[in-house]
């Protein structure tokens, strides 16, 4: 019994031992690579974050509209308290095709990192085999007995270039930063997606409000037309009043088809954001009505938070870090490349007393050096070109930081000014309603002409329509501010960047090893600084 238990335990522990051995192998390999990364000659500059111009505070900091002591919630759209919007954003996260493509590009970048890491292994690994049937001229003296024979050869060749100048290590740095940049690019697409869904949804609700206002004013203006027609038939007024009423009514009715066109465009755009063909969205939009109401204040944090929160800022810096490593990679071509070469092989033939089964063994091993001396300045100019690209990427990063602050300030201003505009327009609407009531009364009593009524009707419709637009601009300003702050990408933490169905489709087509596993991509909280890619290193997938 004891022997049986031991055998069973050994069988059950075999997969665990295999996994432990694989982890141990990766740890040993990682330790070797980390040692190489931490020591030895490294050509080219080590990346350092360039200085950026950051404001100490927002322009409207200290006002009732801005709360710089609190950062936005990771699901900032919850501040609008609209369950339909939250459901739409979740659906877009699951189905949007642009986001899916960005996730697949992360897998591509991870595979490219594996290509760069593979350069640490022997770069040349070749097996050669050949067989040939030969016939010699009979005129040759040694071909009197037999002028035909078979010849077979088999050999293996290995070449390993030593990374004395850090060329390979710079390549890994560049690929690692490019991989991190692809993750930041995914996050940037997600920020854009959540902002676009929220903005489009608010636009649809605003158009619904405008349509309701237009239809309400059509009813009101038809009543005024009926009054004018009755007074005309009674001989009290001329038909000019009827024509004027029909003119105003027709203009208001014509606004409805135009608003329907804009709403159709908005719903079609929302369908594409949701990863579906254009279709009626009555079912998805059911459950809420009216323009979402924004909170009184914006939680914006401080400008320095943009370097951490905005994915496009992170992406710009990571691309600069990747380009920085390209300088060292290019400089490596200026120096000699030292390699260890080895070959082993056999050659056999059927000529004379020999047979194909018995061949001679050949072995060769030793160092080799290659130095591109007469390159006519090509390598030097390539280094210069890489340096220029790096400098341009630094400027792009600094410019991205400036634009990020501009976008936040614009969003804050739009949020606050739209709220003030709505307050003034609410007063305008109340005044327009009062003016119309008085104008109608005076017209019925004969103390005012119909032009006064028509002007009051037009003013009321314009004021109500402007108020609806301003009320929609309040949440749109909030969305613009939170989008500029880089909010929304946090919702993907703990989730797969590529859905299971897509991973299964890719796995059927190609052997991806463990790269399709959810933990193959680090989460944003675990991403290292742009100048340190060592936490990303693992042995490449064979």
Helix or strand or coil: residue 116? helix
Mean pLDDT calculated for residue range 7-34: 48
pLDDT number for residue 389: 96
Note the pLDDT tens digit of each residue in 460-501.
999 999 999 999 999 999 999 999 999 888 888 878 888 889
> What digits encode the pLDDT tens for the residues 181-195?
999 999 999 999 999
Per-residue buried b or exposed e for 60-84, using 16+ beta carbons within 10 Å of the residue's own CB: bbeeebbbbeebbeeebbebbebeb
Question: Could you report the per-residue pLDDT of 101-135, keeping only the tens digit for each?
Answer: 999 999 999 899 988 988 888 888 889 998 888 87
pLDDT digits (tens, 9 = 90+) for 168-225: 889 999 998 999 999 999 999 999 999 999 999 999 999 999 999 999 999 999 998 9
Strand 298-299 and strand 360-370: the pairing is unpaired
Q: 252 is written with which tokens?
A: 């208001």
Helix (H) or strand (E) holding 463: helix 450-484
Angle 167-233/240-273 helices, nearest 10 degrees? 160
- DSSP secondary structure letters along 384-427: HHHHHHHHHHHHHHHHHHHHHHHHHHHHHHHHHHHHHHHHHHHH
Dist. CA 272–CA 449, nearest whole Å: 52
Instruction: List, for residues 361-406, the tens digit of each pLDDT value.
Output: 888 888 888 888 888 789 999 999 999 999 999 999 999 999 999 9
Average pLDDT, the chain: 85
Q: What is the pLDDT of residue 78?
A: 92
- DSSP code string of 55-96: -SS-TTTTSTTEETTSPPPTTGGGGG--HHHHHHHHHHHHH-
Confidence of residue 443 (pLDDT cuts 50, 70, 90): confident
Q: What element of type H or E holds 337?
A: strand 337-349
Question: Is the pLDDT reported for residue 8 higher than 50?
Answer: no
Phi, psi of 537 (to 5 degrees): -70, 140
Distance between CA atoms of residues 257 and 235, nearest Å: 35
Q: Which residue has the higher pLDDT, 27 or 287?
A: 287
**Bigger pLDDT: 538 vs 343:** 343
Q: Which pTM value belongs to this model?
A: 0.84
Structure confidence at residue 141 (pLDDT) = 59
pLDDT in tens, 67-103: 888 888 889 999 999 999 999 999 999 999 999 999 9
Q: How far is CA 310 from CA 225, 388, 407, 517, 521, in A?
A: 56, 26, 12, 26, 19
Contact present, 52 and 320 (Cβ < 8 Å)? no
315-354 confidence digits (pLDDT tens)? 999 999 999 999 999 999 999 988 888 898 888 777 655 5
Q: What is the pLDDT of residue 532?
A: 54
Question: Would you state the pLDDT for residue 73?
Answer: 84
The distance of Cα 508 from the centroid of its chain, to the nearest Å, equals 26
Write the secondary structure of 30-43 as one string of H (helix), E (strand) and C (coil): HHHHHHHHHCCCCC
410: confidence class by pLDDT, cuts 50, 70, 90? very high
Residues 40-71: pLDDT tens digits? 578 889 999 999 999 988 998 888 888 888 88
Pair type for strands 148-161 and 337-349: antiparallel
Token digits for 188? 């940037």
Q: Is the pLDDT of residue 25 over 80?
A: no
Tokens 């009320």 belong to 471
Res 522: pLDDT: 46
The contacts of residue 26 (CB under 8 Å, 6+ apart) are: 538, 539
Quote the pLDDT of residue 416. Answer: 92
Rounded to whole angstroms, the Cα distance separating 379 from 165 reads: 15
Between 410 and 15, whose confidence is greater? 410
| More confidently predicted of 28 and 378 | 378
């Amino acid at each position: 019994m004891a022997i049986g238990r031991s055998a069973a335990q050994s069988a059950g522990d075999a997969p665990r031992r295999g996994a432990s051995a694989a982890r141990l192998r990766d740890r040993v390999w990682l330790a070797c690579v980390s040692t190489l990364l931490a020591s030895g000659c490294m050509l080219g500059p080590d990346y350092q974050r360039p200085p950026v111009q950051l404001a100490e505070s927002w322009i409207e900091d200290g006002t009732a509209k801005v709360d710089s002591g609190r950062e936005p919630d990771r699901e900032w759209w919850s501040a609008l308290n609209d369950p339909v919007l939250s459901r739409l954003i979740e659906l877009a996260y699951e189905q949007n095709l642009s986001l899916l493509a960005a996730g697949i590009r992360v897998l591509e970048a991870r595979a490219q990192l594996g290509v760069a890491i593979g350069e640490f292994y022997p770069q040349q690994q070749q097996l050669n085999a050949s067989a040939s049937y030969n016939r010699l001229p009979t005129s040759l003296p040694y071909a009197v007995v037999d002028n035909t024979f078979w010849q077979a050869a088999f050999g293996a060749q290995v070449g390993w270039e030593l990374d004395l100048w850090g060329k390979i290590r710079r390549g890994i740095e560049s690929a690692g930063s490019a991989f991190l940049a692809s993750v930041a690019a995914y996050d940037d697409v997600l920020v854009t997606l959540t902002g676009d869904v929220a903005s489009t949804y608010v636009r649809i609700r605003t158009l619904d409000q405008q349509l309701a206002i237009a239809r309400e004013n059509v009813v009101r203006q038809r009543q005024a037309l009926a009054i004018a027609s009755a007074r005309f038939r009674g001989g009290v007024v001329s038909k000019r009043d009827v024509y004027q009423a029909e003119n105003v009514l027709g203009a208001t009715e014509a606004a409805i088809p135009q608003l329907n066109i804009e709403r159709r465009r908005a719903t079609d755009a929302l369908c594409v954001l949701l990863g579906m063909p254009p279709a009626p969205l009555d079912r998805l939009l059911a459950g809420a009505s009216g323009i979402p109401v924004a909170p009184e204040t914006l939680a914006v944090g401080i400008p320095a938070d943009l370097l951490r929160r905005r994915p496009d800022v992170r992406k710009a810096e990571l691309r600069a870090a990747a380009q920085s490593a390209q300088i060292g990679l290019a400089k490596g071509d200026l120096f000699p490349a030292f390699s260890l070469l080895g070959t082993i092989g056999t050659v056999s033939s059927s000529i004379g007393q020999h047979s194909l089964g018995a061949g001679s063994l050949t072995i060769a091993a030793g160092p080799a050096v290659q130095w591109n001396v007469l390159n006519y300045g090509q390598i030097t100019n390539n280094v210069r070109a890489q340096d220029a690209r790096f400098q341009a990427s630094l400027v792009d990063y600094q410019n991205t930081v400036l634009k990020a602050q501009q976008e936040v300030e614009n969003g804050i201003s739009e949020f606050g000014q739209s709220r003030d505009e709505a307050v003034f327009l609410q007063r305008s609407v109340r005044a327009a309603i009062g003016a119309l009531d008085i104008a109608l009364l005076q017209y019925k009593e004969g103390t005012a002409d119909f032009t006064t009524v028509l002007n009051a009707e037009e003013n009321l419709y314009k004021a109500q329509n402007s108020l609806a637009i301003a009320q929609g601009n309040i949440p749109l300003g909030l969305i613009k501010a939170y989008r500029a702050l880089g909010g929304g990408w946090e919702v993907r933490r703990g989730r797969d960047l590529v859905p299971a169905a897509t991973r299964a489709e890719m796995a059927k087509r190609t052997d991806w090893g463990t790269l399709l596993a959810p933990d193959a991509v680090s989460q944003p909280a675990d991403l290292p600084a742009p100048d340190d890619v060592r936490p990303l290193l693992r042995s490449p997938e064979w």
